[in-house]
Amino acid sequence: MALTQVSSNKCAGGLQKVFEHESVELKCKMKFAVYLPPKAETDKCPVLYWLSGLTCTEQNFITKAGSQLAAAEHGLIIVAPDTSPRGCGIEGEDESWDFGTGAGFYVDATQDPWKTNYRMYSYVTEELPKLINANFPTHPDRISISGHSMGGHGALICALKNPGKYKAVSAFAPICNPMQCPWGQKAFAGYLGSDRSTWEAFDATVLAASYSGPQLDILIDQGRDDQFLSASQLLPDNLIAVCSEKKIPVVFRLQPGYDHSYFFIYSFISDHIKHHAKYLNA
């Protein structure tokens, strides 16, 4: 599993790097970003995986979120992969901003022509961690996950589908109930087919209803002025209701005046990293 370094920049006392590799799961070249805090020079560090939203690459988070200062303070490695395969030559892959390129939705597609390449769930939960643990000074059993929008959906399902694998999970404006919103219905129909029962395996609200693993403390920040909240794309109330019923701890913060952008993420990212560090450094 050879890595090619694309870039390396000194940041907050550590190094912000980007790598490229040939993905076995996705059958294409993939890029991911890795922030190595100063502590990584001498010690092993826990890893926080960040999943970005629709249209994003690995660049959005590392250039806009301002995560490096808090990651350096708490001694966390942050890994931020791209959001989908790219350049696979699939007909229609570049036609929509909310499906195909930049919109992998962190599922394992079962439908042609997507099923060969669009396996972001397995990439994020299996292939990428193995790659990170083989090449960087990590604690393999001390990982957590976070994300924004489509990536918030990804973070939640990864944690709920793998009880005990992730020490903590958090999300910014996640798509909480994709089976019930236009974005999710479009993506799931295309990647998973018309049988809606197969969609349930990738819907955080459905997964929370049957969760029976160790306690998972969830932190969610949502901007009150988020245009996609009012457009019924995110549906956090559905998830919160199920978690309340199942006694899954959720801290849900509705932040007045904030929208869906990286200005919102930048404003609260240090709280999220502190949330993860509490569990990762315990």
The active-site residue out of 52, 149, 275, 276 is: 149
For the chain, first and last CA: distance in Å?
Answer: 31
Separation between Cα atoms, residue 262 and residue 266, nearest integer Å:
6
Return the ∠ at Cα 53 (arms to 193 and 108), rounded to 5°. Answer: 30
Task: State yes or no: cis peptide before 113, omega within 30 of 0.
Answer: yes
List 148, 153, 260, 272, catalytic entry: 260
CA max distance for the chain: 51
d(CA 175, CA 54) in angstroms, rounded, equals 11
What does the pLDDT look like over 7-27, one tens digit per residue? 999 999 999 999 999 999 999
Distance CA 215, CA 226 (A): 29
**Pair 79, 98: CB distance under 8 Å:** no
Domain residue ranges in the chain: 4-281
Q: Which CATH superfamily is domain 4-281 in?
A: Alpha/Beta hydrolase fold, catalytic domain (3.40.50.1820)
**pLDDT exceeds cutoff 90 at 1:** no
- Band (282; pLDDT cuts 50, 70, 90): confident
CA distance 280 to 140: 11
The whole-number pLDDT of residue 17 equals 98
pLDDT per position as a tens digit, 79-92: 999 999 999 999 99
Residues 6+ away with beta carbon under 8 Å from 168: 144, 145, 216, 217, 219, 275, 276, 278, 279, 280
- For residues 56 and 239, give the distance between their C-alpha atoms in angstroms, rounded to a whole number: 24
Confidence band for 183, pLDDT divided at 50, 70 and 90: very high
Of 246, 170, 238, 168, residue with least CA distance to 203: 238
CA distances from 36 to 93, 107, 161 (A): 33, 28, 28
Q: How confident is the model at residue 77 (pLDDT cuts 50, 70, 90)?
A: very high
Q: Are the CB atoms for 81 and 178 separated by under 8 Å?
A: no
The question of whether 149 is a catalytic residue gets the answer: yes
Neighbouring C-beta atoms of residue 73, cutoff 10 Å: 17
Q: Among residues 226, 272, 275, 276, which one is catalytic?
A: 226
Three-state DSSP at 126 gives helix
Is residue 260 annotated as part of the catalytic site, yes or no? yes
Picking from 121, 211, 111, the residue whose alpha carbon sits closest to that of residue 158 is 121
* pLDDT average, residue stretch 158-165: 98
Other beta carbons within 10 angstroms of residue 78's beta carbon come to 26
Percent of the chain whose pLDDT exceeds 70: 100
Cα–Cα separations (whole angstroms), residue 245 to 156, 248, 250, 253: 17, 8, 11, 19
